[in-house]
Structure 1
């Protein structure tokens, strides 16, 4: 946490650890993560030889348009369970909002979160609703990235009716998957494996799916008011399960690439001594390299420079925090120039309330709106927050990719 808190117009990062990263990439590495011990490194890369070659990954990327989209949840859903449970799956809202994304912003992908409890509750129903979602997305020229696990926000997910948003608070109902108690119980591994193999296996040959994101921010300590509520074994368990989860997904021979995005730490360069076991596994097993960045343009460019040496396609799967300097006008043109796929958070203002900044967990915006929307591109009626942003998305999306230009 910075010694001098920022004003409300410049919201802090989404966790205390990430706050420090905003100050400088040159901050001491010990702040961010402990470097992996040699035995942890070996465990992290076990099985990584099965991943796509760099040539295959780059050939796949050359076949894609410039990938641009948002982290998507319909505006009336507060979390992954509310989006995909049978009682609250809302095809009409999904159809309307994905239509806006394509028509108003030229988007061709979305990043969409699933949840392991959905598989435990109703595996056949979950597959049916994912299929329905993919059909709607295909109608609008959108191929989603599907996220299997997530270590952000509420660590105690419960099936059934979900609570309503806390007024004025950013993402107040989002859920971790798996929950913390299931995560640390080795008896849960059979369920985790069934979930990964079942979902990936159902869509492994489905061209409507762009990619699989195995685990979102696996070394995140929770975020919001959940900081400090991790169980002692959680990070060690994730370091153990993450390589296995890649293997479970890969056992279904998907035609889509697998990935898990790095998001925190001083240096992501190959062989960097500060990489922990989780980051090592993410980078060793990913067919395509994904990352998160919510900072100013110079930090965004520094991250690209760190990741280029892996020789694989790069996609930024979370970005845009206007109050922290990650804005459409300043970041998106850089990404287009560098041919970096871009998936911002999020699309339509709604129940997750991510127009509110991260600091709303400490100081809810109940008496005033933030001076700047933090995330999100559209109001609830589909009106762009800024028409200039929508125009820039459309203009950049229309530009030919390097491979398309060379073919002319």
Structure 2
């Protein structure tokens, strides 16, 4: 079902904020009671999640930022919202068979101009739909710069991977619980405006919530960051559920021992327990990628890898993507077009100086002119998606 625009603005202006019911797999009576109480929907049962997944195309795509943007703010702020580049680059993705993109939003965009932000997000979804792409939208992110600021974003630092990417919420907001009502408005307003919108594949509540950013901003990070993130992430899941989204909610586990539920870290247990579908990150070899999938199958829910493919770390399309197809696991690699994010450079560019384009790109698929970095890779993606 497509979003009725007047409904979106009405939701944004006047929706009532309510709590979220805890999941109980007790049948239709409980669901009706939940809906009547106004507390939002429950966590999907395994059966509901798998039925949803059966109705989707095999999700294959990339973590997307247009080449003209350095971060989430530059992508969506009114002054730099580059629809021409977004349209062009999503067209390249469509041509190789991709049908989803993982796209990061930011709380400051909603705070700055909630109606304008929702309108621009709707425009992005129109462009995505034109190219038969259903994005996964990320609400919060714990990676890279903990001090985001609105306005003109800084220029990239030459040769440095993701030199301008920013966290959401930033450190100051994260450690200030009085900001929770503002963040609640962001989650409810954004999810609520698009809760019934079939153009969206899923909502990713929080990217790598316990990432300490050791190699980049570790010295200025909150030393007990996870103690602030965990309760806020739990609230964010609940806030999103109050809007009764027809799309699944998730948060991807990314580092740890996933052998069993008991070996998960406390924050990972919350991520798994609160997710309608299971998502994860893996930047390692194909055998380790497959091992992760087998470990996550224990939860009996659809699985999507929302970050993979780092050539310099031994993660390649030729290794991981056929494995993902074998197990019917969605696959979203980091990076589509080489641009201001500079993710063709490796993670160690924060410590090591690079003065020219690396011979082996770390991430990304296309050059700015649409030429594939490696045609064999785009041919593989096209062939695997065409035959699914």
Instruction: Return the offset for 1:271.
Output: 2.2
Correspondence 1:385 to 2:373 = yes
Correspondence 1:213 to 2:201 = no
Listed as ranges, the matches of 1:8-407 within 5 Å are 47-49=22-24, 50-103=42-95, 105-265=96-256, 267-273=257-263, 275-366=264-355, 368-400=356-388
Instruction: Return the offset for 1:222.
Output: 2.3
Higher relative contact order (CA 8 A, sep 6+): 1
Native 8 Å contact 1:152 1:223 kept in 2: no
Give 3-state SS (helix, strand or coil) of 2:262's partner.
coil
1:350/1:223 CA distance change after superposition, 3 Å: farther
Q: Distance in 2 between matches of 1:131 and 1:223?
A: 36
Give 3-state SS (helix, strand or coil) of 1:204's partner.
coil
Native 8 Å contact 1:70 1:111 kept in 2: yes
Give 3-state SS (helix, strand or coil) of 1:148's partner.
strand
Instruction: Return the offset for 1:331.
Output: 1.1
Instruction: Return the offset for 1:370.
Output: 1.7
Native 8 Å contact 2:210 2:225 kept in 1: no
Give 3-state SS (helix, strand or coil) of 1:169's partner.
coil
Unaligned 5+ segments in structure 1 are 1-45, 401-408
Name the structure 2 match of 1:6: none
Q: Deviations over 1:299-341 (max 9, x none)?
A: 1111111100100000000000001110011111111111110
Instruction: Return the offset for 1:233.
Output: 4.2
Instruction: Return the offset for 1:223.
Output: 4.9
Q: Distance in 1 between matches of 2:137 and 2:261?
A: 28
Q: State TM-score, norm by structure 2.
A: 0.89
Native 8 Å contact 1:270 1:310 kept in 2: no
Q: Deviations over 1:207-262 (max 9, x none)?
A: 00110000000010125420232224421111111111101000000000000000
Instruction: Return the offset for 1:276.
Output: 1.9
Q: Distance in 2 between matches of 1:74 and 1:166?
A: 17
Native 8 Å contact 1:212 1:257 kept in 2: yes
- The number of residue pairs the alignment matches comes to 351
Name the structure 1 match of 2:34: none
Q: Distance in 1 between matches of 2:357 and 2:127?
A: 33
Give 3-state SS (helix, strand or coil) of 2:108's partner.
helix
Q: Distance in 1 between matches of 2:182 and 2:314?
A: 41
Name the structure 2 match of 1:14: none
Q: Distance in 2 between matches of 1:48 and 1:163?
A: 43
Q: Distance in 1 between matches of 2:347 and 2:83?
A: 29
Native 8 Å contact 1:152 1:175 kept in 2: yes
Native 8 Å contact 1:74 1:94 kept in 2: yes
Native 8 Å contact 1:167 1:364 kept in 2: no
Instruction: Return the offset for 1:398.
Output: 1.0
1:86/1:92 CA distance change after superposition, 3 Å: same
1:223/1:127 CA distance change after superposition, 3 Å: farther
User: Over the residues paired in the alignment, what is the CA RMSD in angstroms?
Assistant: 1.1
Instruction: Return the offset for 1:380.
Output: 0.5
